[in-house]
Structure 1
């Protein structure tokens, strides 16, 4: 297993659709994604803590006129997403290896048009709530990166994280809030284009329900 990971890390160094430390764009990406990487002016969507990048590649295939960037700290996971993008010829999909806390080092204000947070770690311990990706400190950062009409999505099988986020959104000025506690029996399912993460497929087969919400900052 360790040897396979090392081999994948070496491949990542050579892949143009993976941006990581040591590559030119890693230190010069802020405000330059469309000009320096995608070479177009299409809107950019982020998938945070993307894992294998199922939403990055899935949405990139559905929307060829948009750019998608999956973000994670795990190089082995990014290799999987990168491989899927290369196999499908998705030049509008890229992957950035960095902690979510560092987003503003890589993206300028309003450079991002949409953010997906798909099955993140719910951080169930109360003492760990500041690390939840819908904590107010993260929402404040997202608001700076998005334009006034920018859209945020959260998809989670964690009732705790979903309920926590709904409580937070009562304290934050938002608009156009839509939500469901049972995505697969909701009209909002169409927004997902049949995209599931690897583990989501396993959990839903066992009967777990999926929560989903979307909103814009007011």
Structure 2
């Protein structure tokens, strides 16, 4: 993406009513929407996050399927989720918001038990051992999710990485956390929820063209 195009998208994001772009300092010193998300959406519907939302396809796709829930896509790359934010506005999807910030701050963005579900779609598996702390299903991240999720809230992991799938399953079992469903190839094995099959991201389509298996885990952290 050219620098001019990126700048144009950054500028457009500034005008979008569904895009929130706090500084790290604002988040760390007391984020204004923490504990107030229902006021932002003007309803009491459940709040669902997509972490590392990329272009926002899953955030928007889920919002279309579930108008009775509120969806927030979180990513530091605003030029990417610009597409999702723009589509949501064009389609008058009032249950969508995008938040440009670092994912590791997630427990500062939401109050205890404020979130109902979390989707993690095609994260970087961070295969090298020294990158373990950046894996989005490591024990540190799971503790953050545990803090903000309501009791019984769901976490969904959809990935093309067998390493990420296996690492996460092993960690969940080791911690004694509840795995509700696991599938090593959602397009060949039956049983995955409809939104796992019915929504495909830009990157997922690339993986499918290369005939890579798409895996999925649904689990609870509390």
Alignment of 1:120-159 (within 5 A): 120-159=123-162
Gap change, CA 1:167 and 1:93, over 3 Å in 2: same
- Alignment match, 1:84: 87
Give 1:171 deviation, angstroms: 1.8
CA deviations over 1:169-204 (Å, ceiling 9, x no partner): 112232252101001122215242510110101211
- Alignment match, 1:200: 204
Q: Structure 1: which 5+ residue stretches go unaligned?
A: none
- Alignment match, 1:15: 16
Aligned equivalents of 1:12, 1:195: Cα separation in 2: 24
Give 1:104 deviation, angstroms: 1.8
RMSD of aligned alpha carbons = 1.5
Aligned equivalents of 2:37, 2:193: Cα separation in 1: 30
- Alignment match, 1:99: 102
Aligned equivalents of 2:32, 2:71: Cα separation in 1: 18
Bigger shift: 122-131 or 65-74? 122-131
Q: 1:183 aligns with which of 183, 186, 192?
A: 186
Aligned equivalents of 2:21, 2:117: Cα separation in 1: 22
CA deviations over 1:144-192 (Å, ceiling 9, x no partner): 1011110000000001111110110112232252101001122215242
Q: Structure 2: which 5+ residue stretches go unaligned?
A: none
Give TM-score, length-normalised by structure 2.
0.93
CA deviations over 1:18-76 (Å, ceiling 9, x no partner): 00027xx97301000111x1000000000000001111000000100100000000010
- Alignment match, 1:213: 217
Give TM-score, length-normalised by structure 1.
0.94
Aligned equivalents of 2:125, 2:197: Cα separation in 1: 24
- Runs of 4+ deviating beyond 3 Å: none
